[in-house]
C-alpha cells in the first residue's frame, strides 16, 4: 500500500513538472511572438481632422514607446495625394481622402496605395459595410473609413415650447414646413440654417433620404426619377418661402445660432460638440430630433460624408502603419474620446453598443449619440462613382438657390442632364 502511494505521488510530481515546463515554453513562445512595434510614420490629413489624429497618435505612442507618429495638416488632401505621398515636403505613410473622392482616386491610382484586404480581415466585419464598399475596387480594399456624418436637426426647445409645438407630432417635411411658417411669422428668425459645405449639401441630404443620389445603385443618372422630382418640390418650398438659409461654413451656422438668429439647423455630431464647447451657457435651450420624412412613416435617417485612410504603397513602415490604423479604428476608449472631444462619429459598429454612447447628454437632455447611431445604421448608402467629384461641381451650377426659386422642375432637370451628357 505504501509502495502504491509512493508511486502515485511520484507520478503526480512528474506530471506537475511536465505541465510547468510546457507552461513556461508557452509563455516564452508568446513572448517571442509578441510584436515589438517601433519606427516613425507620418500622417497627413486636413485641418479639421488634425486634432483627432494627434489624439490617436498620442494614445498609440503610450502603448508603444518606440513609435513616433508625426501628424501634419494641409488644406486639401483630395487633390494632392501624389505630392503628399511622394513629394519631398511630406513623403507621408498615411493620408486621408473624402468619401466623395475616394472611388475616383483609388480607381485611377490603385497602384499608389497599399492593398489592405488581408490586414483588415480581423476587424472588417465591425466596420460600416457601405463605407467599406466605397473603399473597394474589384474585391480588393485600398482604403479604410475613418469617420461618418449622420444627420439630424438641432432645434431651439425653448422657442418650440413657447409656440406650443410638440416635436413628437412632427413626422414629415410637410409637418415641419407648417411649423416653420408659424415660427418664422411669429419670431422673424431663420427657421432652418444649413452649411453649403459638401458634407451638408441639402440636395444630397434629401435625395439620400429617398435612397438615391446623383446616381442610383446601378450607377445610372437618377435625376429623371420620381425621387428627384420630390427633392426639387420640397426644395422649392423651403427656398421659395424663405424657410431655409445657406451659410458658408459650420462655424458661421454655429455663430448665428448663438446670436439667437436661428431656430434649427441640419447637423452632424461635429456641430453638436462645437455648440457644446463654444457656448456652454446655452445648455438646455437646444434639442435634437431626426430629420422629417417625405411622408408619415417614411425614412428619417441620412448620412453624408466622411474621410478614409490610405497607406502609401512605397512606405517602409507598412506593418506599423496598418497597426496604427487598426488601433485608431477599434480601440474602445479612443472611439469615445474622439466622439466627446471632436464629434468624430465611429465607423466601428461595436462602438454603437458602448454604455457611454448611450448615456444622456445633459446639454441637450438627450441620448444624442444613440440617436446619431440609429440614424447611421438606418441610412441608405450613397453610390459614389469614379466621376462623382467632377459631376458634383457641374451639378452645383444648376442645383442652386437661384434656379430652385425661379426655374420649374423640367428646366432644372434638363439643365442637369445637359451637363451629364
- pLDDT (tens digit per residue) in 146-183: 999 999 999 999 999 999 999 999 999 999 999 999 99
Q: Do the domain assignments include residue 404? A: yes
Residue recorded with cell 472588417: 124
Mark whether 233 and 292 lie in a shared domain: yes
Q: What is the mean pLDDT of the chain?
A: 91
- Contact status, residue 339 vs residue 269, Cβ threshold 8 Å: yes
Mark whether 348 and 247 lie in a shared domain: no
pLDDT, residue 27, reads 38
3-state secondary structure of 405: helix
> Could you tell me how far CA 274 lies from the centroid of its own chain?
16
Q: Do the domain assignments include residue 92? A: yes
Mark whether 415 and 322 lie in a shared domain: no
In this structure, what C-alpha cell is assigned to residue 308? 478614409
Mark whether 188 and 280 lie in a shared domain: yes
Sorting pLDDT into bands at 50, 70 and 90, what band is 24? very low
Q: Do the domain assignments include residue 206? A: yes
Among 357, 382, 353, which residue's Cα sits nearest to residue 367?
357
Q: Which residues, including other chains, have CB under 8 Å from residue 374's CB and lie 6 or more apart?
A: 290, 301
> Of the residues 333, 354, 375, which one is the last residue of a structural domain?
354
Mark whether 97 and 232 lie in a shared domain: no
Q: Do the domain assignments include residue 13? A: no
In this structure, what C-alpha cell is assigned to residue 388? 462623382
Q: What is the C-alpha separation between 325 and 160, in angstroms, rounded?
A: 44
Q: Do the domain assignments include residue 61? A: yes
pLDDT, residue 36, reads 84
Pairing verdict, β 66-74 and 38-46: parallel
Sorting pLDDT into bands at 50, 70 and 90, what band is 13? low
Q: What is the C-alpha separation between 29 and 49, in angstroms, rounded?
A: 40
Q: What is the C-alpha separation between 413 and 421, in angstroms, rounded?
A: 12
- What single string gives the DSSP state of each residue in 250-301? HHHHHHHHHTT-EEEEEE-HHHHHHHHHH-GGGTTTEEEEPPPBSSTT----
Q: Do the domain assignments include residue 186? A: yes
Residue recorded with cell 507618429: 69
Q: What is the C-alpha separation between 305 and 48, in angstroms, rounded?
A: 13
Sorting pLDDT into bands at 50, 70 and 90, what band is 331? very high
**Backbone angles phi and psi of 180, in degrees to 5:** -60, -40
Instruction: Count helices and strands (H / E) in the chain.
Output: 17, 12
Domain containing 312 equals 39-148+305-354
Q: Do the domain assignments include residue 232? A: yes
Total-model pTM: 0.89
Q: Is the pLDDT reported for residue 23 higher than 90?
A: no
Q: Do the domain assignments include residue 245? A: yes
Sorting pLDDT into bands at 50, 70 and 90, what band is 25? very low
Q: What's the CATH number where 186 sits?
A: 3.40.190.10
Mark whether 163 and 293 lie in a shared domain: yes
Number of domains within the chain = 2
More confident residue, 21 or 349: 349
Mark whether 106 and 213 lie in a shared domain: no
- Helix (H) or strand (E) holding 18, with range, is helix 2-33
Q: Is the pLDDT reported for residue 12 higher than 70?
A: no
Q: What is the C-alpha separation between 274 and 260, in angstroms, rounded?
A: 16
Mark whether 256 and 325 lie in a shared domain: no
- Contact status, residue 263 vs residue 155, Cβ threshold 8 Å: yes
Mark whether 89 and 190 lie in a shared domain: no
> Each residue of 74-98: pLDDT tens digit?
999 999 999 999 999 999 999 999 9
pLDDT, residue 383, reads 87
pLDDT, residue 9, reads 54
Mark whether 315 and 366 lie in a shared domain: no
More confident residue, 386 or 369: 369
Q: At what angle do helices 318-330 and 50-63 cross, to 10 degrees?
A: 110
The total number of residues written for the chain in this structure: 421
Q: At what angle do helices 226-240 and 202-209 cross, to 10 degrees?
A: 130
Q: What is the C-alpha separation between 415 and 221, in angstroms, rounded?
A: 13
pLDDT, residue 28, reads 34
> Each residue of 32-62: pLDDT tens digit?
335 689 999 999 999 999 999 999 999 999 9
Q: Is the pLDDT reported for residue 22 higher than 60?
A: no
Mark whether 343 and 274 lie in a shared domain: no
Q: How many CA atoms lie within 13 A of 147 on its CB side?
A: 27
Mark whether 201 and 252 lie in a shared domain: yes
pLDDT, residue 31, reads 34
Amino acid at each position: 500500500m505504501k509502495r502504491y502511494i509512493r508511486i502515485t505521488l511520484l507520478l503526480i510530481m512528474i506530471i506537475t513538472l511536465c505541465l510547468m515546463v510546457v507552461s513556461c515554453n508557452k509563455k516564452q513562445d508568446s513572448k517571442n511572438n509578441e510584436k515589438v512595434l517601433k519606427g516613425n510614420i507620418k500622417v497627413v490629413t486636413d485641418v479639421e481632422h488634425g486634432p483627432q489624429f494627434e489624439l490617436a497618435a498620442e494614445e498609440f505612442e503610450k502603448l508603444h514607446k518606440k513609435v513616433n507618429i508625426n501628424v501634419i495638416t494641409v488644406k486639401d488632401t483630395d487633390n494632392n495625394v501624389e505630392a503628399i505621398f511622394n513629394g519631398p515636403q511630406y513623403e507621408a505613410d498615411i493620408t486621408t481622402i473624402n468619401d466623395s473622392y475616394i472611388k475616383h482616386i483609388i480607381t485611377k491610382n490603385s497602384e499608389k496605395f497599399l492593398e489592405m484586404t488581408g490586414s483588415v480581415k480581423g476587424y472588417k466585419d465591425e466596420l460600416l459595410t457601405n463605407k467599406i464598399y466605397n473603399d473597394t475596387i474589384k474585391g480588393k480594399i485600398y482604403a479604410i473609413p475613418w469617420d461618418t456624418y449622420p444627420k439630424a436637426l438641432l432645434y431651439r426647445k425653448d422657442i418650440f415650447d413657447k409656440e406650443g409645438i410638440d416635436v413628437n407630432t412632427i413626422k414629415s417635411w410637410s409637418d415641419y414646413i407648417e411649423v416653420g411658417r408659424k415660427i418664422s411669422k411669429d419670431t422673424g428668425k431663420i427657421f432652418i440654417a444649413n452649411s453649403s459645405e459638401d458634407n451638408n449639401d441639402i440636395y444630397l441630404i434629401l435625395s439620400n433620404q429617398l435612397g438615391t443620389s446623383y446616381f442610383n445603385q446601378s450607377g445610372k443618372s437618377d435625376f429623371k426619377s420620381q425621387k428627384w422630382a420630390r427633392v426639387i418640390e420640397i426644395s422649392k418650398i423651403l427656398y421659395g418661402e424663405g424657410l431655409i438659409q445657406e451659410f458658408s461654413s459650420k462655424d458661421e451656422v454655429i455663430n448665428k445660432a448663438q446670436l439667437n438668429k436661428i431656430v434649427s439647423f441640419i447637423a452632424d455630431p461635429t456641430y453638436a460638440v462645437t455648440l457644446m464647447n463654444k457656448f456652454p451657457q446655452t445648455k438646455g435651450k437646444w434639442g435634437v430630433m431626426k430629420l422629417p420624412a417625405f411622408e408619415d412613416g417614411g425614412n428619417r435617417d441620412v448620412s453624408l460624408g466622411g474621410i478614409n485612410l490610405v497607406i502609401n504603397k512605397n512606405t517602409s513602415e507598412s506593418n506599423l502603419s496598418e497597426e496604427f490604423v487598426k488601433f485608431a479604428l477599434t480601440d474602445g476608449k479612443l472611439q469615445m474620446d474622439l466622439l466627446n472631444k471632436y464629434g468624430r462619429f465611429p465607423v466601428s459598429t461595436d462602438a454603437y453598443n458602448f454604455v457611454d454612447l448611450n448615456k444622456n447628454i445633459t446639454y441637450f437632455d438627450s441620448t444624442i449619440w444613440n440617436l446619431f447611431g440609429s440614424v447611421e445604421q438606418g441610412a441608405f448608402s450613397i453610390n459614389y462613382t469614379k466621376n462623382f467629384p467632377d459631376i458634383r461641381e457641374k451639378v452645383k451650377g444648376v442645383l442652386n438657390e437661384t434656379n430652385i426659386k425661379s426655374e420649374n422642375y423640367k428646366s432644372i432637370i434638363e439643365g442637369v442632364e445637359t451637363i451629364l451628357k
